[in-house]
Amino acid sequence: MSDHLLHIDSSIQGESSVSRALTARAAAVWRAAHPGGTVTHRDFGADPLPHLDSAGGLARMLPPEQHTPAQAASWAHTLGAVSDVQQATTIILGLPLYNYGPPSSIKAWVDHLIAPGLSLDPATVEGRLGGRDLVVLVSRGGGYGAGTPKHGWDHAEPWLPHGLSLTGLEPRFIAAELTLANTVPAMAELRPLAAESLAAAERQIDALWATVAAA
């Protein structure tokens, strides 16, 4: 398989988004390490996959020849989402923390990826999308580490490996915390820590494919 990057953004913050800045940086690092590689960009903040609903959501449980028009339309989105991943050797996913969980567009993406016969074997329930490098770039407005008042309130990063487990995809994470410190006056004293967290995330991103670039 030739080198191909699937670059996914999900933030609704536009140019002010920290996760978008991180994914853009990572994509640039990947391109430098894979000069012959190709890239597909999906922007779920602007163009999300439709959520599974009562009209089309059961398409994954039925043979395609039994689909209603609504189910066929939903299944087409699933085919596209799975195809994006199948074609990729590397996936970069921006994951901002919204109301202590993932953006709903990421939940919809995961729901579309869990497709018996496509992303997992219906008999063994073994995932078919493994073997790809999935780098998840997390941005969190506050601090959620051990000893902080909201330790354990981040339900995005812990959920994603479980959500994707049936597909065989195994994410690795790089996170920047306290991203609201520069805009929320009450967090002003945390700005040095926010800068340190962002700089550490950027260093990790810059080193992601260093061995590939050096080879």
Enter the DSSP assignment of 142. S
The answer to whether 113 touches 79, Cβ cutoff 8 Å, is: no
10 appears as a binding residue in the annotation = no
Asked whether residue 140 is marked as a ligand-binding residue, the answer is: yes
Check whether 197 is labelled as a binding-site residue.
Answer: no
Q: How many CA atoms lie within 13 A of 115 on its CB side?
A: 27
Give how far Cα 104 sits from Cα of 15, 49, 107, Å.
Answer: 20, 10, 5
Is 83 annotated as contributing to ligand binding? no
- 139 known member of a binding site: yes
DSSP class of residue 89 equals S
One-letter amino acid identity for 208?
Answer: L
85 annotated to bind ligand: no
Look at residues 47, 203, 49, 201 and name the one whose alpha carbon lies nearest to residue 138.
201
Residue 17 labeled ligand binder: yes
For helices 18-33 and 191-206, give the axis angle rounded to 10 degrees.
Answer: 20
18 labelled ligand-binding? yes
Bridge partners (DSSP) of residue 133 are: 90
**Rounded (to 5) percent helix, strand, coil in the chain:** 45, 15, 40
Could you give the CA distance from residue 11 to residue 6 in angstroms, rounded to a whole number? 16
The annotated binding site is made up of 11, 17-19, 139-142
The annotated binding site for FMN is made up of 11, 17-19, 139-142
